[in-house]
Each structure stands twice: as structure tokens, then as C-alpha cells.
Amino acid sequence: MEGPFGCAPRRRFALINITPLVDVTLLLLIFFMVSATFREINALDIQVPAAASGDAETAPLTEISIGSDGALFFDAKPVTFAELRPLLRERIREDADAEVSVRADKRVPYEHVVRVLDLARTVGAQQITLPVAAEK
């Protein structure tokens, strides 16, 4: 079989145009990025006390949590009181202006909170916050 003007017929290749596919994918990506809700989910069940004068909580760089049973957590990882000192000291050494947030359950004895606050001050923490829930 001959093509036009006695030439060999051209073989046509099937091409898939991916430009529309990339466009749709980018639009979907932008849509999901804009519509996604970003909120912090705390893995620990800590009920902080309520206060009328509390400010909105910002995401702290360093968080020490005290569970209702007195268990300590450093950035959501369980630690003992003896392990907390070197971890916190290293974090303060890396960033002297690091904000330390001490989240304590409202059922925790005050003594435990004071021990953690005292430890944070002795290792050099300058900005220590105690997050509270908004009073209803």
C-alpha cells in the first residue's frame, strides 16, 4: 500500500496529552489545601482548668504535659522526672528564647505543677506558659 504521491504511508502514533490532567490535578490540590482545616490534635487527654482571662493558645515549641495520674510527657513522649531535666536543658540550650508550655490536668496536685515549673526555671527557661481553657 502506497501513501500519497507514491511515498510510504506514515505510521500514526497515539499520543496522550497530559496537560489537562496536570491542570486538573493542580486545581484539586489547591482546592484541598484551601479547604482543609488545620487544628492541633492533642493525643493526651488533659483537661486544663478554665479561666476567664486566658488568651488564645499558640502552638508552643516545647510542651510539658502532666496527666491526671501524674505522668509526665515531653512533647507528647512519656518521660520520668529524672529524664525531663536533660531533655529540657538541651532544648533551652538550642534556643534560649524557647517558649515552654506546662499543660497540667485540673486534677493534678499543685505540687506536681510547681516541681515542673521549678525545673523549667532552673534549666534556664525564660518564657513559661500555663495554658487554660476558655471559661464558658
Instruction: Give the separation between CA 66 and CA 8, rounded to whole angstroms.
Output: 82
Q: What is the pTM of this model?
A: 0.57
Q: Structural domain tally of the chain?
A: 2
The CATH number given to whatever domain includes residue 74 is: 3.30.420.270
Instruction: Give the separation between CA 76 and CA 89, rounded to whole angstroms.
Output: 17
68 within 8 A of 46, measured Cβ to Cβ: yes
Instruction: Provide the domain limits for residue 31.
Output: 4-35
Say whether both 70 and 24 belong to one domain: no
pLDDT tens digits for range 10-57: 777 778 888 888 999 999 999 988 887 665 555 556 666 666 665 555
Does 61 map to a domain?
yes
Does 26 map to a domain?
yes
Does 68 map to a domain?
yes
Does 43 map to a domain?
no
Instruction: Give the separation between CA 123 and CA 125, rounded to whole angstroms.
Output: 6
